[in-house]
Structure 1
């Protein structure tokens, strides 16, 4: 594999520094923008039929609602190793505890007699939770979206996740969703899922859409928000990570951090800022060593082509 590109920051002028930090060109590809605009227009015009057609074309499966019955949840939990199930339960508990403790509270002040100022927080009625998972189930993303929405008091939490190749939804995702108090998961992904949430096309409409995704999902969220169809958190995704490491950094830990994001998506971008040339070389060697052990090494390799 080609070694990572190296730059001496102090030797770069302003233009070269911007180029060194530039995002992958694929993210602003005109074809992405045009394709997403076409999908959104189709869903706006045809509703659920367009969502189904695009889902079958891109993912090979029509949208489906997976109800989290007790039987379905028990079956999913039985398929998980005890340590994995315990890890999911601990993650839900920790995220729930944090967001309940940090939930905004109403405040009232009286700057002078008779002038009362109040700050009140009210939950939105519904939110869409986009959870990437077509190639690998991102259970942590589901937890970190569903639990804050639950703590905020949002009544309608609509979770969508792309269908996996082997099965609709991974057992770990079903177990996590049940622990977060969801009554079901929608098996649909991509820009068509974002459009479906915005228009209420075949699934409940979301006032605001949260969650990361690939370039198409991020672009769909951007276009939906620009038109005022639904609010969004931010155009999250594809993944980005910058790690600053000096000579004392553990190469194994830094490499693991970089790869943890690189394996998300071929368009993910990871950058290492090394304060020591020796550290840079040690970390680079460790990245390529660990890469060979990853189940998603193919995706990570594509992402690492943009690593610097």
Structure 2
């Protein structure tokens, strides 16, 4: 069960906030070998690894139009409506992120501007298995479509019958995915990174996955393939005072714990009573969870921190830099202004993290493992490049010529100087 740390000294925070670790020495060799095989042998290697890891024989990776259309009949109408509402909210939140920028005249005759250009080919990886994350497909597919990506490729691991979950296919059609492939694991990442006869090569890969998928993304990045962000196991932190509801807090901690046995949930509170009540509520709610075993393992990685003040709690949270942060405090909006390291923040007693996971509109693909100190979650910006432009008149070049010449001469770059002078001396 959760360990409670009462008023820990600041010098101990770093060691107490360490994430669950694992030995990745064997992982590196295994994933490197998979990627090498896929790079060299393409489809044949992907099929072989599917048989080896997913216990399924794949004749054709590409999901047909008939399969996609048939998926709709396999989904309850109420779930369809829920998916459609979530998509609508995600679109409504992300659409304004695509805004044209006005040209700027930095000096008379010097006009500079920036244009957003969609990444042409992107690959989305969506886990299947025990938790088919069709919600993540909405979170990635919607901003990709808004950005204007021409080719949106989806890879997801098939079940033992060689099929994808119908909700994944339904969501894929809804958001406008270009092609869907039955491929999972590190081999799917390799296929999208290097291309095979069937699966096209992409320029950037998005999406969560297990350790193999995560490590494969990191390795293909070394080969020049962009990825959404570094990732680790899912996590949540709750900052709470005496006004928080212990049953709500416990439910929030467990909602993250059920993601995987390497997930982490922490509670930072000024209330000793809340800490005690939350522990009791976790035991009570844990007993009836379908994924009890997974959540129990994750809770072993989790912590409760009793702090002297909310100010100290804010400092501890900013040091941890959580993927998700729930602020269950009386003055939540004021406190939120002081949070500088977090992926996504949920304010008040009625803003559970699960709403952001599915349907409020914000993106749930977020930096984990402390990367929130330097990375943002996925947005429309993740699917675009910013190209700068400039145009100078002769008068504009004349205006700035001395500045450029002086700086170039100081750096010893005479050809740079000449590129300016030759234009102004050429009548």
Provide the TM-score with structure 2 as the length reference: 0.66
Counterpart residue number, 1:226:
222
Counterpart residue number, 1:38:
33
Q: What is the deviation of 1:267?
A: 1.9
Secondary structure (helix, strand or coil) at the match of 1:241 reads strand
After superposition, residues 261-272 of structure 1 pair within 5 angstroms as 261-272=256-267
Does the CA-based 8 Å contact 1:194-1:220 persist in structure 2? Answer: yes
Secondary structure (helix, strand or coil) at the match of 1:143 reads helix
One of 51, 55, 60 as aligned partner of 1:60: 55
One of 113, 123, 143 as aligned partner of 2:138: 143
One of 100, 109, 112 as aligned partner of 1:117: 112
User: Within 2, Cα distance between the matches of 1:128 and 1:163?
Assistant: 17
One of 4, 7, 28 as aligned partner of 2:5: 7
Q: What is the deviation of 1:165?
A: 5.0
Q: What is the deviation of 1:51?
A: 1.8
Does the CA-based 8 Å contact 2:152-2:178 persist in structure 1? Answer: no
Does the CA-based 8 Å contact 2:261-2:295 persist in structure 1? Answer: yes
Q: What is the deviation of 1:231?
A: 0.3
Does the CA-based 8 Å contact 1:157-1:182 persist in structure 2? Answer: yes
Secondary structure (helix, strand or coil) at the match of 1:159 reads strand
Secondary structure (helix, strand or coil) at the match of 1:18 reads helix
Does the CA-based 8 Å contact 1:68-1:182 persist in structure 2? Answer: no
Q: What is the deviation of 1:72?
A: 3.7
Structure 1 runs not aligned, ≥5 long? none
After superposition, residues 226-265 of structure 1 pair within 5 angstroms as 226-228=222-224, 230-265=225-260
User: Within 2, Cα distance between the matches of 1:32 and 1:12?
Assistant: 36
User: Within 1, Cα distance between the matches of 2:95 and 2:134?
Assistant: 20
Q: Confirm or deny that 1:85 pairs with 2:83.
A: no
Does the CA-based 8 Å contact 1:130-1:210 persist in structure 2? Answer: yes
Counterpart residue number, 2:277:
282
Secondary structure (helix, strand or coil) at the match of 2:5 reads coil
How many correspondences in the alignment?
Answer: 301
User: Within 2, Cα distance between the matches of 1:146 and 1:136?
Assistant: 18
Does the CA-based 8 Å contact 2:152-2:179 persist in structure 1? Answer: no
Does the CA-based 8 Å contact 1:68-1:178 persist in structure 2? Answer: no
Q: What is the deviation of 1:120?
A: 0.8
C-alpha change, 1:276 and 1:68, in structure 2 (3 Å) is farther
Q: What is the deviation of 1:155?
A: 0.8
Structure 2 runs not aligned, ≥5 long? 304-427
Counterpart residue number, 2:369:
none
Q: What is the deviation of 1:88?
A: 0.5
Q: What is the deviation of 1:167?
A: 6.4
Secondary structure (helix, strand or coil) at the match of 2:181 reads strand
| CA deviation map 1:21-76 (0-9, x unaligned) | 112121x522222222221222222222222222221111245545363x544533
C-alpha change, 1:68 and 1:144, in structure 2 (3 Å) is farther
Q: Confirm or deny that 1:24 pairs with 2:6.
A: no
Does the CA-based 8 Å contact 2:72-2:166 persist in structure 1? Answer: yes
Secondary structure (helix, strand or coil) at the match of 2:302 reads coil
User: Within 1, Cα distance between the matches of 2:152 and 2:259?
Assistant: 24
Does the CA-based 8 Å contact 1:214-1:267 persist in structure 2? Answer: no
Q: What is the deviation of 1:141?
A: 0.5
One of 125, 128, 131 as aligned partner of 1:130: 125
Q: What is the deviation of 1:227?
A: 2.9
Q: What is the deviation of 1:13?
A: 5.4
User: Within 2, Cα distance between the matches of 1:91 and 1:77?
Assistant: 17
C-alpha change, 1:237 and 1:159, in structure 2 (3 Å) is farther
Structure of higher CA gyration radius: 2
User: Within 1, Cα distance between the matches of 2:210 and 2:145?
Assistant: 25
One of 182, 185, 194 as aligned partner of 1:187: 182
User: Within 2, Cα distance between the matches of 1:303 and 1:207?
Assistant: 34
C-alpha change, 1:12 and 1:94, in structure 2 (3 Å) is same
User: Within 2, Cα distance between the matches of 1:264 and 1:97?
Assistant: 27
One of 140, 149, 153 as aligned partner of 2:148: 153
Counterpart residue number, 1:94:
89
User: Within 2, Cα distance between the matches of 1:65 and 1:50?
Assistant: 12
